[in-house]
Chains A and B, each alone.
Chain A
Amino acid sequence: MRWLRPLATLAVLVALWQALVWATGVPRFLLPGPGPVAARLWQDAGLLAGHAATTLLEIVLGLGLGVGLGASAALVLARSGAARRWLLPLLVVSQAIPVFALAPLLVLWLGYGLASKVAMATLIIFFPVTAAFYDGLRRTEPGWLDLAATMGASRRAVLLHVRLPAALPALASGIRVAAAVAPIGAVVGEWVGSSAGLGYLMLHANGRMQTDLMFAALAVLALMAVLLFTLADRLARRLLPWQPDTLDPDTTQQGGNK
């Protein structure tokens, strides 16, 4: 039942796509129908899988680095007033620079290989994670802080045992966003300069008018993004069982008053 709804949505979208192709009679090199794309997916499965593995590796490494650095930055900001005064404006200003404009520079500095794409994904993930987690660390229930103060807790203990766990749901929101945008970073990096990856494959397929291969690569990329997001979401729910989801009746029932 859980999977039926998204599958039905997908089926409707594919049907609309097919209808559009039939109705307009566009040539295949402009808009291939679902049939040829599916055939491509099947025929070039090996090729697609190879490039997808490269992109996935970039995304996963970027996610790990971006989340790690972003969470650390948020903790530093929460811990130190000096860090807030010096780093926070810098962080905000840094967001005025479009990450995409940095992609050629990153390729220039870090080369055509994995490093420049991982850096790209890391950069694009870093800010949403930092912003979400830092926000969570700031919005601790004041009563908990008062209680900790009367119990004689050090600032470090308060951060570790009260602020940090209380901010984990906010960090989870940041990671969900990160999982959704990480593929963008990796693919943009591949477009600017690379020798492997789904972005690279799409660019070349586009140049050779292999539009069906482009669509096939796009489908694989979309599938990867959806899977990553779902995985991040599931993981967050599993690890934060105390966090009630008021829109999901499954989790709120046990949380209510008896």
Chain B
Amino acid sequence: MPSGPAPGADLPFDVAVTGARLSYGGRALFDGLSLTLEAGRWTCLLGPSGVGKTTLLRLVAGLAAPEPPTRVAASDGRPIAGRVAWMAQQDLLLPWLCVLDNVMLGARLRGGPRDAGCRARALELLARVGLADRAADRPAALSGGMRQRAALARTLMEDRPLVLMDEPFSALDAITRLRLQEEAARHLAGRTVLLVTHDPLEALRLGDRVLVMAGSPATLSEVPAPPGAPPRAPDDPALLAAQAALLRRLAGDAA
């Protein structure tokens, strides 16, 4: 279903991963893992490198073949493929296309129309992420933060109810990261989002739900999200207290 459902025709849906299993050379990275992404909310998956959180995200994205008995299903019973947008740590901008064409990549790949309306929408999204005047530039001329903003615009352009983000801000400097977190939270409000990160502050700022993935084989445990609606201010005392508690706990897990 390359073109996906018509925008607006889609009611928000939960995504349930059940019995997730991943083994690597005879060793189970995780087994019998269950995860529900609630419709219209941000779920942040926090964990150290190599724990398998990216694989979990790729399972939902349909990029990794599920190992039996893993099941990934939407609550409305329809396939997830075609209803998901994916954003990775690398911007994955195509270096031979200008920023505007990169934002319209989905239409290009699906052979859909790239008419005036499509261009106007792409330009509007670029303006929303502050790149209106860089539309004609090649990605190589942009800074790391700008490139990730362009990637965010490309993700928004897909206009999918389910958005999967795999450490999208981890390669950025601290200030740019905070700013992009806010932009992403604003632009993706109302969508079902799975954000994988190893940054506790990021998870606590953005998550409606925060899940910690740790151990071998890995298990999930929920930590309470701080009060207030995301994106929470980075200097919010409640947020900082939650971060301190979480850091203590993660350090305990690692020991």
Most chain A CB neighbours (cut-off 10 Å) among B4, B85, B94: B94
Of B63, B110, B144, the contact of A157 (CB 8 Å cutoff): B110
- 9 interchain pairs, CB-CB under 8 A: A143-B92, A147-B86, A149-B63, A150-B62, A151-B158, A152-B81, A157-B111, A257-B143, A258-B143
Is there contact, CB below 8 Å, between A158 and B109? yes
Q: How far is the CA of A151 from the CA of B62 in the complex (A)?
A: 11
- Set B58, B92, B110, B140: member contacting A147, Cβ < 8 A: B92
Q: Does A255 contact B (CB under 8 A)?
A: yes
Q: Is A148 in contact with B109, judged by CB distance below 8 angstroms?
A: yes
Chain A positions near chain B (C-beta within 8 angstroms): 141, 143-144, 146-154, 157-158, 161-162, 165-166, 168, 240-244, 254-255, 257-258
Q: Distance in Å from the Cβ of A177 to the closest Cβ of chain B?
A: 22
Chain A residues with Cβ below 8 Å from B3 are 152
Known: A146-B88, A147-B88, A153-B2. A242 touches B110 (CB 8 A): no
Chain B CB within 10 A, most for which of A151, A165, A241:
A151
Question: Please, how many residues of chain B have a CB less than 8 angstroms from a CB on the other chain?
Answer: 32
A157 to B106, CA, bound (A): 11
Please tell me if the beta carbons of A152 and B82 are within 8 angstroms of each other in the complex: yes
A166 to chain B, nearest CB (A): 8
Closest residue to B154 on the A side, CB-wise?
Answer: A147
- Of residues B86, B109, B142, B143, which shows the largest number of chain A Cβ atoms within 10 Å of its Cβ? B109
CB neighbours (8 Å) of B58 from chain A are 146
B residues less than 8 Å from A244 (CB atoms): 140
A-facing residues in B61-95 (Cβ within 8 Å): 61-63, 81-82, 84-86, 88, 90, 92, 94-95
